[in-house]
Amino acid sequence: MQERKERDIAPACTTKNTTSSSPVFIGVPGSGHGMSGRQAMSRRSSWESRKHHYWSDCTGNSLRASRRIGHPAPPAADAQALLESWVLEQLGLSPDLSAHPFGVASLTCSAASLTLHLDPYLGRERHSFPEHCLHRLLPAAPAPGSGDELGGIPGLRVGGTEAGGRKLRLHMVDGLGPAQLTLALPPGLPETWPAVERRHRSWVKGHGMRPLWATPWLDYEESDYLDACLARARSARATMGSALLRRLALFHTSAAFYRVRCWDEGDTWKIDACTANPSTQGHDQLLQRLCHPRWGLPVNLAHAFCHCAGHESPYAWGHTCAFYLDGLEPSGAEAIYLRVHASPEGRDHDRQIETLRRAGAPKEWMDRAFPTDALQDHRGTQRR
């Protein structure tokens, strides 16, 4: 049984078991009775600024772009949320390290659409991330007799390209509701979507599978799979998955996790993160953002098991912190389980650093994710 440490983890959250923390709620604009016009305007401006910072951190867009986009975007409608929760499942378990969480550098969204700006490469070998995306997302019937499951998202279809082949438009087949996904290629990558799609199609056929992403109707293999999927695709779970996907940049901006994996287990989203800088600050900031009372997910931090060293102590390596976030719906079911591992990679992080550099991780982010003093401390600890 793990000993629970009560800490002031997420002051913006309403925690059930952290009695020491007092919820801090940010004021609502326009509520400044008795204030001068100038004070009210100043408070409103500060509020707007916080909002833009929040959504900039969530989406990976610059502050200027965030102001132009005009957040917050409305939450995804039902069919869109279901599609996005499938996207999170498919991209959440990446086979290798990528420069951004789940290979998505930034995103924009509306109630019935999502655009993902993709990383160019995946892992040390610099595999094409756009091609990996097609591999994970586009539906393909398994090779006869293989016993494999249907690959990709059932009912997802390619609608065409735009911006000179730089953006791929995807939608759900008729009858599965209005839902749109656009995949944007990173600037600097010379090839266009038609070339990536041809390569993927050739790979699928070469493995005896049947491409389904251009079929105008639902294939019988997809229908069978969908029946099984929809039975467990509760709307609360889909809504949470979509809301999480729309805030995925927080894993890099609020925390500096060099690897994040996410999957669905029952009705709980499991998030498994690795850090090379095991100070409490990283996960505390992330939890504050996820539980933000105004713009955060509909969750409460219910249980926290933190084993980080205190702020005045040396780094504490090799531990795991765990956080249980309950949904706000009446059943209060566990919605998210976040686990943060401090340095699970053994003696040093040279291989991770090299892989992330080759995958295109920005230098300023790498300096945050792998701070020199933490790495030196880690190596010193290993030698002792």
Residue 333 φ/ψ region, left for φ over 0, alpha for ψ in the -120 to 50 degree band, beta for the rest: beta
Q: What is the smallest separation between the CB atom of 326 and Zn ion, expressed in angstroms?
A: 19
User: In the complex, what is the shortest distance from the CB of residue 353 to Zn ion, in angstroms, rounded to a whole number?
Assistant: 23
Tokens matching residue 112: 């019935």
Shortest gap between Cβ of 273 and Zn ion (angstroms)? 11
Task: Please name which of 366, 322, 368, 312 lies closest in space to residue 342, comparing C-alpha atoms.
Answer: 322
- C-beta closer to Zn ion: residue 76 or 291: 291
- Selection from 207, 31, 188 nearest residue 135 by Cα: 207
Closest approach, Cβ 327 to Zn ion, in A, equals: 23
Among residues 276 and 308, whose Cβ is nearest to Zn ion?
308
Q: In whole angstroms, how close is the CB of 12 to Zn ion at the nearest point?
A: 17
Contact residues for Zn ion, defined by CB under 5 A:
280, 306, 308, 321
Q: From the CB of 334, what's the least distance to Zn ion, in Å?
A: 19
Tracing tokens 């009695």 back to the chain, one arrives at 19
Are β-strands 140-141 and 127-128 bridged in parallel, bridged antiparallel, or unpaired?
unpaired
